[in-house]
Each structure stands twice: as structure tokens, then as C-alpha cells.
Amino acid sequence: MFASALLFRPSFHNWYCWRNLLLRAFGAKVGRGVRVRPTVRVEIPWNLQIGDGVVVGDYAILYSLGKITIGPLAVVSQYAHLCAGTHDYTHPDFPLLTPPINIGEGAWVAADAFVGPGVTVGPRAVVAARATVVKDVPADVVVGGNPARVIKERAAKPE
């Protein structure tokens, strides 16, 4: 918390290498060319793996009580929340559960979306703004809503 408050957050917006260094110093696996904004919140960095070329937008929350893996070239937009922790509501003591989250290569979790524990977002999938994802998302689709449902296939434009 101190490192985040004193070293991570007050860094200049384009000091990506500095923030990547700090994340690595606390056990995160961070690829090349990663751009994590200074207002991002990371709960337990040693449970975080970020692939090459990933962008994590302002005020995103990476609540990595369980492992969070973000594949290469994925985007996690501003205010998105990846929540890899919950409680077993069937047990009287509500023990902590930490199912992992996997965001596939080239996927996009748009602004203010929520991705819950144990969810895999497939490669090149798009989670629409403000969507609530509680089940796995197949590759190459767009999902939206609460709970998120497939809206359409993601058709890539030719280059």
C-alpha cells in the first residue's frame, strides 16, 4: 500500500517502465511494452501476470486475490474491475475463494466492466462497457449486459 501510494500513483502518466518495474519488484510478471496507468489499483501483485503489449486504463482494479492472467495485446479499459476473489456463501464462515481470471490474447474489457472470479475471456473477445461477466466468454464474440450475454460475433476488418 505504501509503495502504491508513494511511488506508483504519483508517477507521471507516461512512466510505464517505472510502474512495470515496481510491479515486478512485488512479484508480478510483466511483459514488454506494457502500459499500466498510474491510477490502476493492484491488490496482490505476485498473483498478476501481464503479457506483452497490454494496456490497463485509468482507475482499473486488478483485485488479484487469485491469479489474474492478461494475455498479450489485451486491453483493460478505465474503471474496469477484474475480481479474482469471492466467498463461499454456502458455508457459515464465508471462507475466501480465489478462482483465477484469464483474459485472452487481443481481448478487450471495456470501460467500467466487471469480470468475476473464475472467468475466462477468450482470445479477441470484447466485453462491452459496463457489462457484468460471471461466466466464460468464448473467443471472437462481443458480450454485454448484466449478466453479460453474447451480442454478436466479432468480425475483424481486413488490414
Helix (H) or strand (E) holding 2: helix 2-3
Query: Pairing state of beta strands 48-50 and 29-30?
Result: parallel
Among residues 98, 155, 103, which one has the least CA distance to residue 127?
103
Active site residue 91: yes
Selecting among 13, 81, 87, 91, the annotated active-site residue is 91
Cell numbers linked to 117: 472470479
Rounded to whole angstroms, how far apart are CA atoms 111 and 80? Answer: 5
Estimate to the nearest angstrom the gap between the alpha carbon of 112 and the chain centroid: 11
Give the catalytic positions in this structure: 91
